[in-house]
């Protein structure tokens, strides 16, 4: 199989879908790899490193898309990239289709088979290809939230950890999953007062087992969220429903009870966000203010630490990439039901139930897709 990796074109997206060691593994398995020139430069990876690993360098993205059997990316294809996809081509990347009907329509029209990192599952119920980026985004959230609370970030001038004699910031983390747990780890390390909210008692127990009495835990319901948001200096939203749009757990009415200059960080923005007032931003212009509250809603948070994120992502995607290349997508999905859960689009139809439900589209089930 010929595997192609273009340079990401989303604003300030410096990650890359394939690293040299992944190229070497694919080449050793008998495949060919074509990289767009300078695709890895944002992650500190040169053309020479890719060539040494066995890749060919293409001058343009057009050449990569036109020649490759499988396209590997990081972020969802933007409109100019979607126009380059063709019937029968395989796309393996993050898609986050539930809040993005325009992308979904373009992918269906392309005829490509699209497997989304974020809906691939595992035996233990986790999302293995989302996990590493959730770790990164979670660890970044208190960092960017702390900056938003600074006066020059538009905030009220609160130091997250406080100082002796001055209270630390009150940080509320909605969601005790991977991102939420990593956010709590960093916020506690910075000296903040941390409360975690989740509807799963098991997740809250796990947080107590991990952090002890350093973190407070509260069951997630509307009244509890409203009470906690009102007193918070920083609210971090990390709620995720695989394949579906994120629930709007913090309403604008709740937001209006926060103290002016407080901040929110919406880690769930790729899936539409869990604050009613959220809208996607970029690293170039990451924040905006609604009702006196600073919002950080960057849709590709891990992109600002591109090298760490790129290597972490490739560590997770490599086994699945090899399976798709070695077996072809149909056999790979037939052999692995967890990889099969990543199938989002095939033959012009949506193939993931949660995505189809979110978009109001008819569902082509897996058996039908494999038989198509």
Q: Which residues carry out catalysis?
A: 96, 270
SS3 339: helix
Sort strands 170-174 and 193-198 into parallel, antiparallel or unpaired: parallel
Sort strands 349-350 and 343-346 into parallel, antiparallel or unpaired: antiparallel
28, burial (CB in 10 Å: exposed 0-12, middle 13-18, buried 19+): exposed
Distances (CA, A) of 66 to 61, 75, 159, 327: 8, 19, 51, 22
Quickly tell me which residue has 């809906």 as its tokens. Answer: 119
Distance CA 10, CA 73 (A): 11
Angle between helices 306-327 and 20-28 (to 10 degrees): 10
Distance CA 187, CA 193 (A): 8
Distance CA 295, CA 351 (A): 34
């Amino acid at each position: 199989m010929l595997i192609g990796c273009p340079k990401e074109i989303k604003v300030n997206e410096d990650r890359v879908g394939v690293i040299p060691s992944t190229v070497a593994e694919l080449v050793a398995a008998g495949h060919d790899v074509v990289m767009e020139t300078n695709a890895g430069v944002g992650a500190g990876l040169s053309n020479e490193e890719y060539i040494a690993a066995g890749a060919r360098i293409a001058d343009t993205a057009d050449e990569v898309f036109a020649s490759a059997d499988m396209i590997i990316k990081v972020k969802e294809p933007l409109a100019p990239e979607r126009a380059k996809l063709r019937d029968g081509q395989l796309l393996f990347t993050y898609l986050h289709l539930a809040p993005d009907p325009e992308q979904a329509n373009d992918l269906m029209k392309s005829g490509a088979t699209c497997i989304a990192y974020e809906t691939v599952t595992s035996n233990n119920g986790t999302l293995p290809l989302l996990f590493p980026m959730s770790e990164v985004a979670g660890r970044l959230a208190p960092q960017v939230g702390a900056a938003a609370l600074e006066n020059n970030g538009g905030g009220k001038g609160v130091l997250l950890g406080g100082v002796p004699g001055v209270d630390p910031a009150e940080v509320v983390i909605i969601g005790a999953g991977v991102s939420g747990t990593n956010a709590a780890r960093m916020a506690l390390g910075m000296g903040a007062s941390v409360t975690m909210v989740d509807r799963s008692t098991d997740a809250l127990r796990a947080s107590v087992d991990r952090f002890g009495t350093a973190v407070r835990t509260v069951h997630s319901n509307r009244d509890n969220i409203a009470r906690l948001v009102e007193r918070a200096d920083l609210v971090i939203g990390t709620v995720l429903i695989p394949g579906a749009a994120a629930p709007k757990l913090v309403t604008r009415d709740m937001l209006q009870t926060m103290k002016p200059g407080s901040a929110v960080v919406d880690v769930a923005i790729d899936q539409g966000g869990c604050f009613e007032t959220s809208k996607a931003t970029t690293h170039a212009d990451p924040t905006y203010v609604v009702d006196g509250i600073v919002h950080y809603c960057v849709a590709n948070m891990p992109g600002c630490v591109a090298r760490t994120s790129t290597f972490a992502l490739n560590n997770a995607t490599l086994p699945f990439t090899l399976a798709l290349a070695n077996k072809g997508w149909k056999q790979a999905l037939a052999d692995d039901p967890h990889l099969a859960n990543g199938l989002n689009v095939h033959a012009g139809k949506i193939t993931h139930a949660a995505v189809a439900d979110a978009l109001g589209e008819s569902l082509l089930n897996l058996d039908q897709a494999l038989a198509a």
